[in-house]
Structure 1
């Protein structure tokens, strides 16, 4: 069954929009290494991973995040983490991710036991994290909160680069369920392969943990993945994204309460007012990816590509904006934990 699914997923790379993913047969260097690890430890090179392939460092960062939070065999069950991934994806209105991870959750033992955890993830996905007891132990926080951060990141990338469903529109409605169940069952390591925490960290250089993610420190693998992924994605952006654009995104996220802006784009015009014309396309796209990817238009992408035509640049900008937003959301978990501790004292 799995060889068939792998063939299907190779074809599904054609679903990726706006960029050309590196085909499996043409992968070299870091891209080939990530593809090989993903096939061995995840079962497939899924489109949400492959869409990063024009930017090898972003690809490695996305794989580290996914592997060390969702896939690695740690304290927290895969079912619990899939419940979090599904809830975050639903709150972010990412139907592609909901369909995939809901299908995977249905194949796992104990899938029905994580309702309170999914409810908590849903309530805390948008807006300030609620000051309420968490339905998990402190020792489980790195994996659970790490999974939440990973899917806040991936949801934003998927909304830009993939359609609403992994199943082609032409597929008969009656066949969608069986196809997704087949794909979900194939999303597992090769026989005899243990997904040991931390063994993929060498894909990216060591780096300090970003401020606000102290909840990850007890788990060296999760902390290492977050630190290395953020540092690598930031470094790629710093090489070419104009400083005023980077400063603007950080300024907007610092005061953002998590509520999705809209329904008009007045907020975007106000946020970018006063920027040089040459910085506007990158600034608009970065803010949209971070705060409301549903509002991205073809015109936004065309204006960006007129100045930055390479696929690598589009992936790097989107990856940086999405991960910066996800880290800001992750930092709110630490803020809430401090307020709960103060209240208890």
Structure 2
């Protein structure tokens, strides 16, 4: 069978041990999807995998805010980032939660009839606008949005979205044993904080989620992703950081065009910058130019995560600018 993974060969979930196996088990139980591809793609870097799962679990799955409303935000983020795999996943998750009409409207490219839903979707697409939720809900909504800004980039960089997106009818997918498990998981409310013991890293919590499980998870993910910057020399790391800082935090790079570091001369900087701003443009040639001995799957995953986290932080800065303005 053709692998859905680009550029890496992760171990099957059933053959893993330690942190990776523990994350897979919790994903299956609380997310309702066995061997969920974004987490399998990250499994070469266990600390990174655990941080990503913790941020998604504690923001999207746990907490008190409406799961439907958080799924709308995640859908908006994924649409803005041109991630068809994630757009399809959130459509399916809305169906699993019983929001069939809303899911169908979004799948057809429409806007929600409910004005509150429309504002949440719009905010997910451009987080520089007014926040359509209360300050108490910010850890869940901002955490969900930033989790998927990160996950979208991982998926576009490391997963073959055409192979992974089967185009099957949601009703057929949900009318199966696996579909029933997904429905049960979506309609449950997992206890907050249970992902935190899986974390292998730690870092400062963001102001918008300080003192919450979401804040702990975000700090851990950021710390794990920063490790990828160590794979670049100082000159290339500075170029990537400055280029992402100059980005507006919203507009994806076009599907083609110049302005990127040369593949032959600065392949690591090119890969990290693509992961941040246009992961769907990463090619086998880009990876081949950088991935020479001693670089491994572990290294590639970390480098992609470094670029993705810089983009997340740039988006986060726009959110904080609105909150402080």
Between the aligned partners of 2:164 and 2:127, the Cα distance in structure 1 is 34
State the partner residue of 1:254: 245
Specify the SS of the correspondent of 2:291: helix
Check if 1:216 corresponds to 2:206: no
Q: For residues 14-48 of structure 1, give each alpha carbon's deviation from its aligned partner in whole angstroms, at most 9, with x where no partner exists.
A: 31221111212320111111112112222223011
Separation (CA, whole Å) in 2 of partners of 1:309 and 1:29: 23
Picking from 198, 213, 219, the partner of 1:203 is 198
Asked if residue 60 in structure 1 is aligned to residue 50 in structure 2, the reply is yes
Query: Whole-Å Cα distance in 2 between the matches of residues 156 and 191 of structure 1?
Result: 23
SS in 2 for 1:187: helix
Alignment partner, residue 236 of structure 2: 245
**1:153 matched to which residue of 2?**
150
Contact 2:119 2:132 in 1 (8 A): yes
Question: What do residues 205-227 of structure 1 show as CA deviations (whole Å, max 9, x unaligned)?
Answer: 44212xxx42222x611111101
* Stretch of structure 1 that moved more, 95-104 or 297-306: 297-306
Decide whether the 8 Å contact of 2:7 with 2:284 is kept in 1. no
Q: Is 1:107–2:96 an aligned residue pair?
A: yes
Q: Name 2:108's counterpart in structure 1.
A: none
Partner Cα distance (2:187, 2:92) in 1: 23
TM-align CA RMSD:
2.9
Structure 1 segments unaligned to the other structure (5+ residues): 1-10, 340-345
Instruction: State the secondary structure of the residue aligned to 2:128.
Output: coil
Residue 305 in structure 1 maps to residue 291 in structure 2:
yes
User: In structure 1, how many angstroms separate the alpha carbons of the residues matched to 2:95 and 2:145?
Assistant: 19
Give TM-score scaled by structure 2 length.
0.84
Distance 2:38 2:315 in 1: 21
Paired with 2:233 and 2:117, the residues of 1 have a C-alpha distance of 39
Q: State how far apart, in whole Å, the 1-side matches of 2:5 and 2:119 are.
A: 32
Is it true that 1:46 corresponds to 2:17 in the alignment?
no
User: Aligned pair 1:17/2:3, yes or no?
Assistant: no
Deviates more, 1:118-127 or 1:193-202: 118-127
Secondary structure of 1:199 counterpart: coil
Matched, 1:231 2:223: yes
Q: Report how far residue 71 of structure 1 moved.
A: 1.3
1:129 aligned onto 2:119: no
Distance 1:184 1:86, change over 3 A: farther
CA positional deviation for 1:334: 0.8
My pick for the range that moved more, 248-257 or 114-123, is 114-123
Q: Distance in 2 between matches of 1:82 and 1:114?
A: 16
Q: Deviations over 1:180-231 (max 9, x none)?
A: 435554336679986211122122244212xxx42222x6111111011111
Residues 1:260 and 1:194: Cα distance change in structure 2 (over 3 Å): closer
1:332 equivalent in structure 2:
318
5+ residue gaps, structure 2: 103-111
Partner of 1:86: 75
Q: Report the secondary structure of 1:306's partner residue.
A: coil
- Which residue does 2:18 correspond to in 1? 29
